[in-house]
């Protein structure tokens, strides 16, 4: 029989050395035996290859979804907590503060507005030249000097600044490193460095995770994330701070998607969707937690310490969380797969067959690179579509999250509400997805987000109806959060196992490019108040349109075919997807 490369579960039997043809009774016994160890035939109306990929041998042995899978997916979801902390921390750490040119020591009691008027510092970046501020004098003399300086009209740049203290913002990057006036753009640069690391890590983590394993990359990245996060607490140099932020972004994206892929590969069939969505539940809770921490600390260093410490405890999960058994099987490490299956089956209370065999896929399906994303029409189509969709989703999702301080109102309350509405968004998406499928719900979330952003655009600039604008923003956050929940699961589902991480990694590059732009799109409001929300509206509708070109379910045949044709490669592709 031709070896298809599909992992098989077959009891070891003793074969007769006779070469005589089998009788009809023997054939019937063989068919009954095979039916006991293979998935049943698909129901009418479904393509056979669709049903075959719903489950695999590993799931048949240890259970498709039991107590073991639930425990593992819950533990893996905890890695999303520090990730969410780090990516959203800039909302509070880079918050704008009211500032003015520093007053001389003898005028510290002078009201700020009076000082601004006296020094000619209307823009808070320059003051009159030629006044001896360090020389003591009465107020009349000082006014005369200020009038003379104003008559000459010469301004010089301020060298130091003072900052508001009772503003519910506290010590931020702005006040720590005087990131105001001609240095104001450095706040966006600091955030861009982090997101540039995210974009770069999307490629590196995908390749290394496929090569060395999901668990290995997850914990190496988690350890480095903890180290870099805590180093930021002690850092006093802004240049070093930028470097550490970039490295933090580099490893954070690896933590995010290694944990997600690992959670999905613990299960099979319809449970992949559920496990993937469970993995994202800590996101909204983390948004609310960091909002509360930022309000209580009101200091960027204290906040950094609070969000860096949880990673220490997560590193100890190395002794609990196993490697992906499906990745191990693709790599031919059958003995390790057996140990994981036996432990999981025991935890789930399942009886394993007395003797069974696991056949790894052929080597061609386990050695893939980014070029394989474009080697068949199916893979080219989903790759191009997902690149556009991931760019759109991240631009809109984080365009709302990271610009929360520019929308008006209380930034802590707005951020907490934005996290709160994401909880029912994930729950509703999990329920509806079982009724209408991923494609149409995914498409609807993007279109609805576009409508909500358009309504927020209309209300922009109206302080009397700020509550209505915030309401529309929360509706947009609700719908785009549902889409953000579906997107990684849908992406991982449509890619074969052998190139799944490569595919997700490539999509991460597009997401990273969107994230790099996110800190800068808030500058659109300085040009025209409606531009930011108009941009988010346009991209949401564009993303919904692109989703229409995706298949509702994965195309199983020739999905990972290298394009050369031939049954051997087709079977390898099938085997890769089966795992």
At 431, list the tokens.
Answer: 């329920």
pLDDT at res. 141? 55
Q: Name the most confidently modeled range: 104-108, 250-254, 305-309, 414-418.
A: 305-309
Output the pLDDT for position 538.
Answer: 92
Give pLDDT, residue 39: 36
Q: Among 200-204, 245-249, 266-270, 507-511, which is the least confidently predicted range? A: 200-204
- Name the average pLDDT for the chain: 77
Residue 150 has which token pair? 């104003």
pLDDT at 146: 59
pLDDT for 153:
57
Q: When comparing pLDDT for 14 and 83, which is higher? A: 83
| Residues making up the chain, counted from first to last | 579
**Residue for token digits 């393509």?**
47
For 426-453, b/e burial (b = at least 16 CB within 10 A) is bebbbebbeeeebbebbbbbbbbbbbbb
* Predicted confidence band of residue 292 (pLDDT cuts 50, 70, 90): very high
Nearest to 146, CA basis, from 133, 160, 159 = 133
Average pLDDT, integer, range 76-81: 90
- Examine the pLDDT at 48 and tell me if it is beyond 60: no
pLDDT in the model for residue 545? 93
pLDDT of 133 > 70? The answer is: no
Residue 277, judged by CB atoms within 10 A of its CB (0-12, 13-18, 19+), counts as buried
- Secondary structure class of 90 (helix, strand, coil): helix
Q: Which residues pair with 99 in a beta bridge?
A: 163
Q: What is the pLDDT of residue 362?
A: 62
Above 70 in pLDDT, residue 22? no
Question: What whole-number percentage of the chain has pLDDT above 70?
Answer: 79
Higher pLDDT: 489 or 47? It is 489
Model confidence at 130, pLDDT cuts 50, 70, 90, reads low
What are the angstrom distances between the C-alpha of 423 and each of 294, 327, 430? 21, 31, 11
Over residues 119-140, mean pLDDT: 65
Answer yes or no: is pLDDT of 566 > 50. no
Section 213-217 average pLDDT: 89
| pTM for the predicted model, two decimal places | 0.75
φ and ψ of 483, to 5 deg = -65, -40
Report the CATH superfamily, name and number, of domain 369-552.
MFS general substrate transporter like domains (1.20.1250.20)
| Fold equal for 55-79+177-358 and 369-552 | yes
Whole-number Å distance between alpha carbons of 359 and 35: 18
Domain spans of the chain? 55-79+177-358, 99-163, 369-552
Cα distances (angstroms) measured from residue 75 to each of 69, 91, 286, 313, 481: 10, 27, 15, 12, 22
Burial 101-114 (b: 16+ CB within 10 A, else e): bbbeeebeebeeee
Q: What is the pLDDT of residue 139?
A: 54
What is the CATH architecture of 55-79+177-358?
Answer: Up-down Bundle (1.20)
Stronger pLDDT, 440 or 53, i.e. the higher one: 440
559 pLDDT higher than 90:
no
> What is the phi/psi pair of residue 357, to 5°?
-125, 145
CA distance 120 to 109: 18
Check pLDDT > 50 for residue 429: yes
Mean pLDDT of all residues in 233-248? 91
Confidence of residue 43 (pLDDT cuts 50, 70, 90): very low
What is the per-residue pLDDT for 312? 92
Start-end of H helices in 96-185: 112-119, 139-152, 173-177
pLDDT of residue 220: 92
Give the model's pLDDT for residue 152: 56
Say if residue 197 is exposed, middle or buried (CB neighbours under 10 Å; 0-12, 13-18, 19+). buried
């Amino acid at each position: 029989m031709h070896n298809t490369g599909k992992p098989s579960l077959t009891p070891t039997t003793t074969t007769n050395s006779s070469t005589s043809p089998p009788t009809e009774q023997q054939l019937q016994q063989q068919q009954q035996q095979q039916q006991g160890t293979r998935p049943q035939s698909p129901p009418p109306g479904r393509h056979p290859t669709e049903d075959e990929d719903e489950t695999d041998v590993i799931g048949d042995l240890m259970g498709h979804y039991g107590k073991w899978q639930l425990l593992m997916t819950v533990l893996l979801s905890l890695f999303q907590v520090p990730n969410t902390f780090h990516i959203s921390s800039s909302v509070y750490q880079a918050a704008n503060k009211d500032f003015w040119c520093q007053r001389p020591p003898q005028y510290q009691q002078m009201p700020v507005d009076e000082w601004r008027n006296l020094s000619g510092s209307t823009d808070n970046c320059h003051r009159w030249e030629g006044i001896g501020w360090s020389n003591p004098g009465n107020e009349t003399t000082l006014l005369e000097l200020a009038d003379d300086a104003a008559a000459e009209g010469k301004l010089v740049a301020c060298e130091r600044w003072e900052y508001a203290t009772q503003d519910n913002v506290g010590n931020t990057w702005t006040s720590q490193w005087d990131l105001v006036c001609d240095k104001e753009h450095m706040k966006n640069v600091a955030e861009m460095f982090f997101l540039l690391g995210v974009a770069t890590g999307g490629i590196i983590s995908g390749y290394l995770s496929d090569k060395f394993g999901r668990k290995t990359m997850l914990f190496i990245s988690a350890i480095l994330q903890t180290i870099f996060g805590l180093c930021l607490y002690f850092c006093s140099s802004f240049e070093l701070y930028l470097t550490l932020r970039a490295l933090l972004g580099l490893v954070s994206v690896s933590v995010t998607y290694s944990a997600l892929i690992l959670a999905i590969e613990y299960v099979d069939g319809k449970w992949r969707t559920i496990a993937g969505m469970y993995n994202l539940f800590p996101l909204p809770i983390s948004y609310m937690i960091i909002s509360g921490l930022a309000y209580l600390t009101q200091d960027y260093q204290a906040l950094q310490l609070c969000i860096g410490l949880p990673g220490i405890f997560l590193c100890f999960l190395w002794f609990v969380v196993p490697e992906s058994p499906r990745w191990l099987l693709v790599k031919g490490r059958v003995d390790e797969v057996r140990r994981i299956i036996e432990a999981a089956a025991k935890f789930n209370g399942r009886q394993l067959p007395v003797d069974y065999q696991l056949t790894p896929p052929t080597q061609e399906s386990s050695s893939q690179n980014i070029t394989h994303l474009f080697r068949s029409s199916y893979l080219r189509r989903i790759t191009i579509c997902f690149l556009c969709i991931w760019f759109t989703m991240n631009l809109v999702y984080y365009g709302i999250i990271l610009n929360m301080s520019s929308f008006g109102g209380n930034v802590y309350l707005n951020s907490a509400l934005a996290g709160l509405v994401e909880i029912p968004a994930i729950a509703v998406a999990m329920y509806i997805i079982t009724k209408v499928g991923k494609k149409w719900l995914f498409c609807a979330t993007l279109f609805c987000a576009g409508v909500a952003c358009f309504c927020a655009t209309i209300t922009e600039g109206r302080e009397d109806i700020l509550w209505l604008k915030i309401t529309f923003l929360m509706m947009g956050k609700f719908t785009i959060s549902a889409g953000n929940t579906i997107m990684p699961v849908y992406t991982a589902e449509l890619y074969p196992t052998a190139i799944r991480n490569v595919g997700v990694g490539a999509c991460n590059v597009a997401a990273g490019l969107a994230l790099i732009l996110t800190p800068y799109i808030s500058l659109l409001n300085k040009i025209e108040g409606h531009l930011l929300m108009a941009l988010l509206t346009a991209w949401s509708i564009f993303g919904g349109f692109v989703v229409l070109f995706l298949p509702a379910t994965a195309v199983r045949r020739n999905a990972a075919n290298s394009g050369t044709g031939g049954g051997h490669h087709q079977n390898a592709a099938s085997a890769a997807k089966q795992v």
